[in-house]
Structure 1
């Protein structure tokens, strides 16, 4: 694991929990649970994914962006950051 990604293990752990949550949602749908219950679970999963995205962005800003700026690669890292944000925030 790169030293630039301090939060990576937390990201992996959160994604594992989200994976379990999605599996549980699938089981709920298969057992014909109420639509409202399914929608509530989907909202919870979306929120959890958004929080993982924020943590990855924090890792990127604190590690990758800082390292790139320090190495004099500011223009490229800013262009890469803009591209990533445009894909993440559609």
Structure 2
């Protein structure tokens, strides 16, 4: 397993906190028997925000973890 050499991505943490808050507000909408179409719109917004977090995490993984693994492998072969 790859060991991270960079710290946690603060942007991802902030975005996930917002997703969690948004999802909790959708739960409250359901508990309050809000209109189904309003709830579905908010669920779509939560999905979109979560997908964005996934894309950012993948970008971070490629730009840090994958490149570091390639560089490490390359330097080990040179030795």
Please tell me the TM-score bracket, short chain as reference. Answer: 0.7 to 0.9
RMSD: 1.7
C-alpha distance in 2 between matches for 1:46 and 1:64: 26
Equivalent position of 1:28 in the other structure: 29
* Ranges of 4+ aligned residues in structure 1 off by more than 3 Å: none
Query: Is contact 1:21-1:45 (8 Å) kept?
Result: yes
1:52-71 equivalence runs, <5 A: 52-71=53-72
Normalised by the length of structure 2, the TM-score is: 0.83
1:13 partnered with 2:11: no
Q: For 1:39-87, what per-residue CA distance to the aligned partner results, in whole angstroms no more than 9, with x for missing partners? A: 00000000000000000001100000000000117xxxxxxxxxxxxxx
C-alpha distance in 2 between matches for 1:22 and 1:2: 31
Gaps spanning 5+ residues in structure 1: where?
74-90
Query: Is contact 1:25-1:41 (8 Å) kept?
Result: yes
Aligned length: 71
